[in-house]
Amino acid sequence: MINVILIAPPFAGKGTISEYLVKTLGYSHISTGDLLRNEINKNSEIGKAVKNIMSQGKFVSDDIIFTVLEEELSDNKESLIFDGNPRNIKQAEMLLNLFKKKDITNYCVITLDIKKEDLLKRVMGRRICPKCGRTYNLNYKEMLPLDGNLCIDCKMPLIIRDDDNINTFNTRYQTYLDNTYPVIEYFQMNDVTVFEIDASNDLAVIFEEVKKIVSDN
């Protein structure tokens, strides 16, 4: 199935949509944020280099991103969701080059459109399972954990991510506007099809739209 590059501001729901594509349509989730957090957990050289940068919501260097990304991609060529990459025009260019190198030809962009106020509400409600990475949100009935704070799958107590706070959110949102938003136009100019989804809709509506896009293309 078509490879999807998800481009959206922080908290717009990239992780939730990715989870949906993985569970219902067998997609592989390629999240550069998760790959970097794995490096931090392993306490690798890359992990040590990115820990502080990430907790401040700043960008990790393009070279580090593509080192972890290329390793993760190996021979996978389809049904991939790129979540959190590219974050700037240089990375978009690097990703298109990587696709060429790996002979990946079938891909599209999905962008999520949502207001800043709605995003802020989500920041304070997000909880993560430390074991499986499943995401919950205390503001959404479809995303509530078990018994207030447990992972439905692992029964582990949930955690708040280091970078889930208002200051980090504001930095990340502005960084998105300055660096990532222009990537959408870059892809359009390079003949990549871009689909826009209204992310303030109910999850069920969003999921239907995503499903239609990947099934029709």
- Which residues are at the interface with ligand AMP (CB under 6 A)? 31-33, 36, 53-54, 57-60, 65, 84-85, 87, 91, 163, 172
Nearest distance from C-beta of residue 182 to ligand AMP, angstroms: 14
Q: Which residue minimizes CB distance to ligand AMP?
A: 33
Q: Which is nearer to ligand AMP, 166 or 205 (CB)?
A: 166
Nearest distance from C-beta of residue 199 to ligand AMP, angstroms: 15
Bridge partners of residue 124, in order along the sequence: none
Q: Which is nearer to ligand AMP, 84 or 145 (CB)?
A: 84
Nearest distance from C-beta of residue 58 to ligand AMP, angstroms: 6
Two tokens at 25? 């349509």
Two tokens at 200? 């303030």
Q: Which is nearer to ligand AMP, 95 or 197 (CB)?
A: 95
Nearest distance from C-beta of residue 130 to ligand AMP, angstroms: 15
Q: Which is nearer to ligand AMP, 1 or 49 (CB)?
A: 49
Nearest distance from C-beta of residue 168 to ligand AMP, angstroms: 8
Nearest distance from C-beta of residue 32 to ligand AMP, angstroms: 3
Q: Which is nearer to ligand AMP, 57 or 145 (CB)?
A: 57
Backbone angles phi, psi at 29, to 5 degrees: -90, 115
CA distance to 11, 38, 97, per residue, from 17 (Å): 11, 21, 25
Q: Which is nearer to ligand AMP, 87 or 145 (CB)?
A: 87
Taking alpha carbons only, the member of 74, 65, 75 closest to residue 39 is 65
Residue 29 identity: H
